[in-house]
């Protein structure tokens, strides 16, 4: 009996230890307490950046590796010196960057990073900038730039004052100091439709949502199957934080730009929430109608982002609303597949004919997105020196065009161009990665627009290259619609000095921040239900939703938004 008791006790002990090792009850507390222990010391050491700067002489080229975290875009992690361009820059400066990209949710990742104090040397925080500044995780760059950044100062000269925070310090270097015309990395939001559909019906000009769905309906009836699978009329994207892809089109369809959760009246400059407005109802009701006609892919209401991309890549989806930057993988897959009919073209649709579309962002120097140096950086001076070196014009040409004779050519008038082969090569994602174009394409201090010799900063913006890079299918489409480039489908944006409201910082745990989360929670629940509902029940369900919506703290949110608009109109930074 004693033996069994002993054995039992041992067993229990083993179980206890195993479970104790696995439980995580106190993790949050543990993480945050270590943050409070680490961060103060970190900010103390960063208080005097010149001390570490003076240690390294001007032309220090001893090999060093800094870490770089990019929260703005997904990508392959690696070292810059494993790429051709990165190696060239390392030869000039001795600096290598270990690149890491965001996987998953931005806010969660930044929250954990800040709380644990586990920061990289250099960071692109995207919309998480306010979190970084709140935590004093970025160091002021003013002195460093004065000392080590003559080329940066020259390039960013016209925007210098815009770069300063309210406290007069520069914490981040924004991307793309424009000189000349405004480049847009990706197409802004658009209702995409398959080129095969346009071809089938003789390239009709689509301006309204009704026309768009009519075309999709007609095509689907005619071709119930594509590539051996059922044709899907319309797909939506609702996954996690990407949910805005479902709600943003509503103001766009009413001829308003995307300001986030509000729209701003052009005359009174009054901001009001979009969630309960008629245009939102009209848009959701249209999706409800599309669903009842069997045009909507029900499953896309519960699908994850990668499933959505996979579906688009099959070429079976006729239409969807999205932003150029969000569908890059699908676009590339379809391009690689080589069937031009299955690729897409985007249109800025509106509800009613005659409404001017406002999908395109007004030109603006975006000062609250950029790259910063964190309080954890050991040697900020070397980093600034690296930045300064890379914005020299000859290095900018190197980073965006590559090496002369290898990735581009120069004609006798000094114009840059690319041969067909070079275009094909530089468009290949694998080549972009191995050569370094991927790492250096954006998200660094850089210029944009035109070089001093009149060549375009980016190869794909150079007229000589654009003309050559269009496929036969591209050319047919552009001809049919009388466009020079695809972004010509958009109307020019109206001047809006406050635009866009959504980029304004929100305090942690503030009513406006909580409103946004609650609103998203509510819509994530209500909108799919509204879309899947029987059309006869739609109005009743919509009224329920509006009642729930008005229970949220709408007033606090609108007050905040109006504050932002007024401040920006008065020239204050928000």
Partner 1 sequence: MVRKSLLSKLIEQRTLVLMSVPLLLWLFVFRYIPVWGWTIAFQHFRPGTKLFDQEWVGFDNFKFLFQDESFYRVMRNTLAMSSINLVLGFITAITLAILLNELRHLYFKRIVQTISYMPHFISWVVASSIIVNALSTESTGIVNLILLKLGIIQEPILWLAEGKYFWGILGTAEVWKNLGWNTIIYLAAITTIDPAQYEAAEIDGASRLQRILYITLPGLKPVIVILLILNLGNILESGFEPQYLLGNGLTADYSDNLDIFVLKYGIAMGNFSFATAAGVFKTVISFILLFSANHIAKRLGQPRLF
Cβ distance to partner 1 smaller for residue 34 or 332: 34
State in angstroms the smallest separation of the CB of 547 from partner 1.
Answer: 14
How far is the C-alpha of 439 from the C-alpha of 114, rounded, in Å? 24
Q: Position of tokens 């959701």?
A: 284
Cβ distance to partner 1 smaller for residue 148 or 545: 545
State in angstroms the smallest separation of the CB of 564 from partner 1.
Answer: 18
SS (H, E, C) 390-437: HCCHHHHHHHHHCCECCCEEECCCCCEECCHHHHHHHHCHHHHHHHCH
Give the N- to C-terminal CA distance of the chain in Å, as an integer.
Answer: 75
Residue-wise DSSP of 268-317: T--EEESTTSHHHHHHHHHHHHHHHTT-B-GGGGT--HHHHHHHHHTT-E
Cβ distance to partner 1 smaller for residue 205 or 529: 529
Cβ distance to partner 1 smaller for residue 3 or 59: 3
State in angstroms the smallest separation of the CB of 524 from partner 1.
Answer: 3
Q: Return all residues near 5 (Cβ < 8 A) that are at least 6 apart.
A: none
Cβ distance to partner 1 smaller for residue 129 or 371: 129
How far is the C-alpha of 444 from the C-alpha of 174, rounded, in Å? 8
Q: Return all residues near 421 (Cβ < 8 A) that are at least 6 apart.
A: none
Closest CA to 332 of 453, 433, 414: 433
Cβ distance to partner 1 smaller for residue 4 or 62: 4
Tokens of 302: 């519960």
Cβ distance to partner 1 smaller for residue 374 or 385: 374
Number of Cβ atoms within 10 Å of the Cβ of 294: 12
Q: Give the residue ranges of DSSP H helices in 56-160.
A: 84-93, 106-116, 129-134, 142-148, 150-156
State in angstroms the smallest separation of the CB of 303 from partner 1.
Answer: 8
Cβ distance to partner 1 smaller for residue 435 or 549: 549
Cβ distance to partner 1 smaller for residue 208 or 513: 513
Cβ distance to partner 1 smaller for residue 47 or 492: 47
The CA-atom distances, in angstroms, between 408 and each of 85, 87, 115, 426, 449 are 14, 19, 46, 9, 18
State in angstroms the smallest separation of the CB of 513 from partner 1.
Answer: 6
Closest CA to 189 of 120, 250, 238, 269: 250
Cβ distance to partner 1 smaller for residue 243 or 365: 243
CB of 180 closer than 8 Å to CB of 323: no
Tokens of 339: 């069937």
Rounded to 10 degrees, the C-alpha dihedral 291/296/299/300 comes to: -130
Closest CA to 552 of 521, 525, 529: 521
Cβ distance to partner 1 smaller for residue 166 or 354: 166
State in angstroms the smallest separation of the CB of 567 from partner 1.
Answer: 22
Angle of helix 278-292 versus helix 511-532 axis, rounded to 10? 30
Chain residues binding partner 1 by CB under 8 A are 4, 7-8, 11-12, 15-16, 19, 23-33, 35-36, 39-40, 42-43, 105, 107-108, 110-112, 114-115, 117, 131, 134-137, 229, 238-239, 243, 298-299, 301-302, 304, 307, 375, 508-509, 513-514, 517, 521, 523-525, 527-529, 532
Tokens of 344: 């897409």
The dihedral sign for the CA sequence 161, 164, 167, 168: negative
Distance of CA 519 to the CA centre of its chain: 21
State in angstroms the smallest separation of the CB of 107 from partner 1.
Answer: 4
Closest CA to 114 of 98, 135, 133: 135
State in angstroms the smallest separation of the CB of 522 from partner 1.
Answer: 9
Question: Residue 395: left if φ>0, alpha if ψ -120 to 50, beta else—which one?
Answer: alpha
The secondary structure element, H or E, covering residue 200 is helix 195-200
Closest CA to 437 of 398, 469, 483, 391: 398
Cβ distance to partner 1 smaller for residue 330 or 399: 330
Cβ distance to partner 1 smaller for residue 386 or 527: 527
State in angstroms the smallest separation of the CB of 33 from partner 1.
Answer: 3
State in angstroms the smallest separation of the CB of 239 from partner 1.
Answer: 8
């Amino acid at each position: 009996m004693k033996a069994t008791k002993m054995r039992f006790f041992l067993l229990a002990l083993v179980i206890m230890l195993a479970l104790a090792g696995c439980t995580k009850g106190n993790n949050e507390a543990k993480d945050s307490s270590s943050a409070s222990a680490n961060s103060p010391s970190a900010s103390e050491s960063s208080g005097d950046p010149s001390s570490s700067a003076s240690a390294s002489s001007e032309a220090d080229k001893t090999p060093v590796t800094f870490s770089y975290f990019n929260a703005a875009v997904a990508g392959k992690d690696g070292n810059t010196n494993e790429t051709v361009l990165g190696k060239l820059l390392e030869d000039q400066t001795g600096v290598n960057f270990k690149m890491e990209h965001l996987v998953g949710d931005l806010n969660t990742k930044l929250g954990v990073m800040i709380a644990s104090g586990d920061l990289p040397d250099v960071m692109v925080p995207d919309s998480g900038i306010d979190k970084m500044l709140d935590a004093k995780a970025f160091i002021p760059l003013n002195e460093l730039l004065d000392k080590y950044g003559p080329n940066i100062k020259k390039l960013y000269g016209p925007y210098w004052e815009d770069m300063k925070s309210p406290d007069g310090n520069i914490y981040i270097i924004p991307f793309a100091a424009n000189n000349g015309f405004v480049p847009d990395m990706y197409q802004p939001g658009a209702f995409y439709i398959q080129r095969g559909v346009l071809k089938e019906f003789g390239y009709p000009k689509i301006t309204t949502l009704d026309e768009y769905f009519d075309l999709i309906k007609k095509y689907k009836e005619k071709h119930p199957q594509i590539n051996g699978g059922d044709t899907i009329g319309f797909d939506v994207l609702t996954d996690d934080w990407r949910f805005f892809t479902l709600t943003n089109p509503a103001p766009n369809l009413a001829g308003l730009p995307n300001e986030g959760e509000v729209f701003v009246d052009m005359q009174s400059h009054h901001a009001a929430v979009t969630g309960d407005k008629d245009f939102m109802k009209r848009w959701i009701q249209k999706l409800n109608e599309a669903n009842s006609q069997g045009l909507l892919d029900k499953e896309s209401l519960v699908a994850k982002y990668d499933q959505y991309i996979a579906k688009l890549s099959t070429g079976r989806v006729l239409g969807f609303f999205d932003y150029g930057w969000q569908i890059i993988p699908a676009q590339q897959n379809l391009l690689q597949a080589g069937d031009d009919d299955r690729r897409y073209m985007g249109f800025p649709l509106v509800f009613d004919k005659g409404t001017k579309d406002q999908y395109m962002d007004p030109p603006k120097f975006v000062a609250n997105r950029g790259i910063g140096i964190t309080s954890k950086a050991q040697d900020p001076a070397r980093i600034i020196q690296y930045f300064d070196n890379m914005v020299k014009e000859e290095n900018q040409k190197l980073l965006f065009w590559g090496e002369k004779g290898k990735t581009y050519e120069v004609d006798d008038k000094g114009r840059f161009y690319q041969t067909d082969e070079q275009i094909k090569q530089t468009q290949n994602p694998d080549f972009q990665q191995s050569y370094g174009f991927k790492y250096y394409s954006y998200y660094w201090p850089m210029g944009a627009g035109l070089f001093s010799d009149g060549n375009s900063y980016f190869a794909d913006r150079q007229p000589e290259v654009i003309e050559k890079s269009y496929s036969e299918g591209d050319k047919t489409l552009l001809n049919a619609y009388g466009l020079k480039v695809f972004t010509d489908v958009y109307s020019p944006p109206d001047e809006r000095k406050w635009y866009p409201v959504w980029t304004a910082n929100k305090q942690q745990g503030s009513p406006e921040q909580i409103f946004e989360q609650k609103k998203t929670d509510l819509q994530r629940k209500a909108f799919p239900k509204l879309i899947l509902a029987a059309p006869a029940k739609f109005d009743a369900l919509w009224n329920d939703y509006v009642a729930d919506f008005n229970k949220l703290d709408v007033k606090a949110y609108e007050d905040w938004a109006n504050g932002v608009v007024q401040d920006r109109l008065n020239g204050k930074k928000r």
